[in-house]
Amino acid sequence: MVQLPFVALAALLITPFSSAALTQCPSKEASWTSKTGAEYTICRNTDYRYGGGSLKVARDIKSTNACAEICSKDPRCVKAVYDKRNRICHVKDNANEAQMNWASDAKFDTIRVKNVNEGVFISRCPNPTNNYRSKGGKTFNVCHNSDYVGPTTRMTKNCASLAACADICSGIKTCKKAVYDKQEKVCHIKETEPKASLFWVQSKRYSVVHAPVESKPATQGKWSDLIRLPVIPVAAYVVPQFPQSQQLLFFSSWGADAFGGASGRTQFGVLDLPSGAVGQREVADTHHDMFCPGMSQLADGRILIQGGSDAEAVTLYNPKTNAFTRGPDMKMPRGYQTSTILSDGRVFTIGGAYSDGSVFQAGPSKEQHWYGTKQKGSIVKSGKRDNADAMCGIFVMYDAVAGKILSAGGAQDYTASDANKRAHITTIGAPYKPASVKRVADMAFPRGFGNAVVLPDGTVLVTGGQRKAMVFTNTEGILVPELYNPATNKWTQLAPHAVPRNYHSVSILLPDATVFIGGGGLCYVAKIGGSTAGCDKTADHADGEIFQPPYLFNKDGSIAKRPIIQNLAQKPVKAGSTLKFSVTNTSGKVKMSLVRMGSATHSVNSDQRRVPLTDFQVKGNQYTVKLPKDNGVLLPGYYYLFVMSPQGTPSMSKTVQIAL
């Protein structure tokens, strides 16, 4: 058994001699973010000495943060010093950075633009910013030292300046974004979005201008800033916990950014949802490289992780003890398999160990099947979904009571294959009976390697994917998510995320009704522990983003009032029993649902399903809810309980455990 505490990522604290030049802040650094999203770090009781005079000196400045704000408004400012005793802000001249000495001095605080590595994807400008009004009268936002990677429709050489590039863009009706190459003095007019995807990255060679974009959270939702992670989240799951889950666990392989071979160890990370703190650990005592496994949440909340690189191995994670233990080996070693829990609590694995029950297979083949799991098993055809296969498409059971499964996208082959945008709803009923398949509205974009999450209200959020499935690339990655509404049979395009989420990416519903997406990439290395230098690191995404769907906002864009669930007993319940609780902070007719906590990898989340709750009685603010009695509908395990206001805004969830 291995039970290691997660270690919070923090700067190494050192205490240098007062005369020594600093290489790290001797105390914990503070962060400050400008109104435009640029990030700065503040190191207390230090000074930048030598290196020439100041570009600007501002007096009677009240605080270090106010000095940081002055720096943020000056595009030349990379470093600044605040004189606390005399209340003076010095914008430093970074031209002589090599001669600049960073030293301890209690009279000053130092400020610097937060370092972002070259080529790293960004969602907000981390550099000095300003606005520019073109000769044509258009206003542009400017982000220095960044680039839009993507198609250029027009290129102008011998362009004298960034301002001249903005003027060119201003004269083109369709131009929304342009890039200025400072080295070659070339202006690139970028293709319009979402016709093409433009990836915003850090780059000292370039600066960008873009037309201001109005935020529309009430109709398009809103994304968080990027969350930098210690490992690429190739797989992820929510840790079951009463009264509300608090953590998201994720993992890669033997390397934080690499896989290849049976290594006997796995790199894990954790995101603490309330605080945003990130931690990391290596799991080696189970002798299991868990890359590309089958994953299932068990009835008692443990997570079963089976197969993968160490193809016969089985690992169990216990959320109550934060411990990983080795389980019994599979009889048939497997990788890239799919598993799902059965109504009796046992786990069915395609090609692995079979158990009593029945399982419906909706893809990726065009033919659908029922798998019988009694004795030696059986396979019964259940109708044709489409005329083509759909490798790495999306699927989700958005209404388990009615047996409704949405599937969409995918490609004929695993890689180097054009994706499609077709969507279907498959309705299943009694086991081994033919399913009905209905073609529904197409997505706006073809997607291979996309991900899907069912939301509390029964709509389905689809993120990421590529127009042409190409493993380990950003090529033709789709940044615009879509929301499918089964009630109207319509797809809605939403606010774009910052990073392409393609092969090896995940998405998963969080307990506050937001959605985490992350990952993509991972470097194949033939030798365990070998170098990743030969890989395309621009396709490796050790980061995540959190999406707030439109239902969390009022029409004016303000945060909507949420119902509050109270007095729910923290004990297991069985299918067919009742839940009793109170609901406050809302009035009128509400809706309810249970959504099973998910586990995701390789575009597959066989744990998630939504169970609408329609049989309930109300007395004042007290609710008595009758649960579905079929364990095939209400699978054992841990669920989020959501209550939706008459306006459609969901509550923060409370945890419900369905026991056998």
Residue with tokens 């829990």: 341
Catalytic residue among 82, 503, 551, 639: 503
CB 206 within 8 A of CB 183: no
Helix (H, G, I), strand (E, B) or coil at 399: strand
The answer to whether the bond into 486 is cis (omega within 30° of 0) is no
Q: Report the C-alpha gap between 235 and 251 in whole angstroms.
A: 5
CB 159 within 8 A of CB 168: yes
DSSP letter for each residue of 465-510:
-BSEE-TT--TTB----EEEETTTTEEEE-PPPSS---TTEEEEE-
Residue among 448, 342, 450 at smallest CA distance from 390: 448
Which residues touch 334 (CB under 8 Å, ≥6 apart)?
294, 306, 307, 311, 349, 351, 352
Provide the b/e sequence for 230-256 (b: ≥16 CB within 10 Å): bbbbbbbbbbbbeebbebbbbbbbbbb
Q: Report the C-alpha gap between 639 and 635 in whole angstroms.
A: 10
Amino acid identity of residue 359, one-letter, is: V
- Host H or E run for residue 179: strand 177-181
DSSP letter for each residue of 83-126:
ETTTTEEEEE-GGGGGG-EEEEEEEEEEEEEPP--TT-B-SS--
What is the CA angle 385-404-444, rounded to 5? 65
- Host H or E run for residue 165: helix 162-170
Strand partners, 199: 149
Write the DSSP symbol of residue 555. T
Q: In the numeric block, which tokens belong to residue 478?
A: 């789709």
CB 281 within 8 A of CB 256: no
Q: How many helices (H) and strands (E) does the chain have?
A: 3, 53
Residue among 507, 495, 385 at smallest CA distance from 449: 507
Residue among 303, 293, 285, 283 at smallest CA distance from 237: 303
Mode of pairing for the β-strands spanning 654-659 and 573-574: parallel
CB 612 within 8 A of CB 404: no
SS (H, E, C) 246-285: CEEEEECCCCCCEECCCCCCEEEEEEECCCCCEEEEEECC
Residue 611 main-chain phi, psi, to 5 deg: -120, 100
Residue 70 main-chain phi, psi, to 5 deg: -60, -45
- Host H or E run for residue 147: strand 139-149
- Host H or E run for residue 69: helix 64-72
CB 238 within 8 A of CB 508: yes
CB 597 within 8 A of CB 607: yes
Catalytic-residue membership of 317: no
Catalytic positions, written as ranges: 503
